Chains A and B, each alone.
Chain A
Amino acid sequence: MTETELVQALCDSAEVPEGEVLAVERPGLPTLLVCNVDGTYHVVDDLCSHGASSLAEGRLIGCEIECALHKGRFDVTNGRATRRPSKKPISSHACVVRDGHVFLVNSSEGETA
């Protein structure tokens, strides 16, 4: 197993039920979106790469977050844009769940709980 360094606690895992997302602000970080896809947590930037809208307003459909502004979509597991008009990916971040908290980790592989 890769050595993972817990970088930052983002939220209680219970705050993000299955199929939901939560925007989290932490000093020194861009606003992040914690997403719960079927019990697995993923963290991506909250900012849509298309028109700079917050993705937290949108729906999570399977592993895709749909931007509320123009309905572009991103795969939250890897940040890829999956539907127009979004084209550029958004950053995705490795995370783990420890003791009921979702943590940002520095390992590029990440780990999921």
Chain B
Amino acid sequence: MTDLQVRPSETEPIGPEEDGDTATRRWATAYPELGTEPISTDRFISEEFFERERKEVFAKSWVNVGSNHDFPSAAAFFVRDIKVLGVSLLVVRTDDGKVQAYHNVCSHRGNKLIWEQNGPCPKVFACRFHGWGYQATDGALASIPDEEQFYFSDKSTLDLVPVRTDTWNGFIFVNLDDDGTVDLHEHLGPLGEKLADFPFEKLTMEYRYDVPEKANWKVALDAQNEIYHVPMLAPVHRFLSGGAFHTNDDGYTRVHTFDRLGLHSVYTSESDDDFQDTDSGVANAATHPAFGVLQLPLETPFAFHVVFPNMVLAFFNNSMFTYNIWPEAVDQTTWEIRLHYPKPTNLAERVLVEQAKSRFRDLLCEDQAGHEALQVGLTSQARDIFVLGEQEVQIRAFHHNLDNYMDGVRR
């Protein structure tokens, strides 16, 4: 039997002492509402919990479905299938720059309207099955082959079904809840404001990996949402820039700043400007180019934003990576990874981007193995709780927000 509402609490939790040498209760003190209790295993393996996430989170929340980069030209479309919601969306950008998503479903017999991944925007989207056509500008039903054979009482009810759509700084969000009252601006809240002027448009090179994982979506998110594992997990992790991921004398990384931004959060790593790398480290650092002059207005070499519920927007040196972590089943996830770099100005920089990308991909392969291994352990139910430390406050905050959201706190 599981009680999904009740957070398990063992005996009085013991945490780092306030006056200990290296340990602090910094985050526990700063965010008492997050508690220090263990977290239930259940939320990663229960079908019932997954169902609630589907209904109460993904079907209610604003969800990022891509960015302006996904349009191959000015007036264009792309298709986004969202398995957790069982929908296929047709996201259209028209000549006037307006972005609107529709259910990618023909009103005739329900065929998936557009099968291509993306393309230039036609005047009319034609269904492959019988050729019904919909105007790109507003989704209105525009043409019906052999129309006289049909019995319509009101043809205007047969337009494409629009989905609430809005954009923020080039990122496209949808909300499947027609009755929702929170707009995108309110949903993004302080995070949206913090990054409102961020020059995302400078990052014009993009690489995408869609990684299938046998793991719950939150396993993947949590494992990315901390740097405690960085010095330990695997070889490429150890070589991550010691400047961006400073380790203290004991060899441990530290969260430098952590902020709750409404439903969202951001943490930065303790960094070290004077970091002197080993020879092999120097060679590796060359694969994370800063392109001479840092163009992005970053305060720290590494900053990791979780955009509730399933997006990550992170800066690393002069580049950015974004994740969309798509639940597919309670134990199946697609980890959509995009690496974004500024446009190289010469061949040497172009080669560096290629190296950086490959290195980062290899790093994330180590993480993928880790995610799946975590799921194995959770699924075994050997333990029904697990514990989080001070350096995992980000994870605590995410689960706290998730619980609240499912309880109706929507911003």
Contacts and interface: CB of A to CB of B under 8 A. Distances in A.
A70 B248 CA distance: 16
A82 B250 contact: no
A85 interface: yes
Interface centre among B247, B248, B251 (most CB of A within 10 A): B251
A106 to B, nearest CB: 28
B231 interface: yes
Interface residues of A, number: 13
B247 A85 contact: yes
B367 to A, nearest CB: 16
B339 to A, nearest CB: 23
A83 B249 contact: no
Interface of chain A, main secondary structure: loop
A-B residue pairs, 9 tightest by C-beta: A85-B231, A85-B251, A84-B231, A84-B238, A87-B251, A50-B251, A82-B278, A87-B247, A88-B249
A70 B231 CA distance: 9
B200 interface: no
A50 B250 contact: yes
A70 B247 contact: no
Interface in A61-113: 70-72, 81-88
B249 A84 contact: no
Nearest to A48: B251
B252 interface: yes
B272 to A, nearest CB: 11
23 contacts: A50-B250, A50-B251, A70-B231, A72-B251, A82-B278, A83-B238, A83-B278, A83-B280, A84-B232, A84-B238, A84-B239, A84-B242, A84-B251, A85-B232, A85-B238, A85-B251, A86-B251, A87-B247, A87-B248, A87-B249, A87-B250, A87-B251, A88-B249
Nearest to B235: A71
